[in-house]
Amino acid sequence: MPADTPRPPYYAVIFTSLRTSGDNGYADTARRMAELAAQQPGFLGMESVRDGIGITVSYWESAEAIRAWKANAEHQLAQERGRSDWYSAYRIRIARVERDYGFGEI
């Protein structure tokens, strides 16, 4: 389901990744990070898809909330494992959402 975001402006963190082979604890950690992110002040929602390339977009009230999430100790450990075990490459983009519109229910 798409994230139920408020009226703009808000922020999006776009995480695009290529996985290495094997799970190596990835699925459990990904679930834990989704749970933990949802508990962070300023978190608005998340959308994720993987079909070869993975794309996860998390939505935040502010740039400060994003910085706090990046600095979360448990998240930092997962980031280290991502670089050493789970991803062959990734890119993070942070954007301020100025407009948000659509059609129908997704």
- Every domain of the chain and the residues it spans: 10-97
pLDDT means over runs of 10, the chain (106 residues): 93 97 94 97 96 96 98 97 96 98 85
Q: In this predicted structure, what is the pLDDT of residue 28?
A: 97
Ramachandran quadrant class, 25 (left: phi over 0; alpha: psi -120 to 50; beta: rest): left
Q: What is the CATH number of domain 10-97?
A: 3.30.70.100
Query: What are 11's two structure tokens?
Result: 């922020």
pTM for this one?
0.93
> SS3 for 52?
coil
Cα 55 from Cα 74, distance rounded (Å): 21
Cα 81 from Cα 90, distance rounded (Å): 13
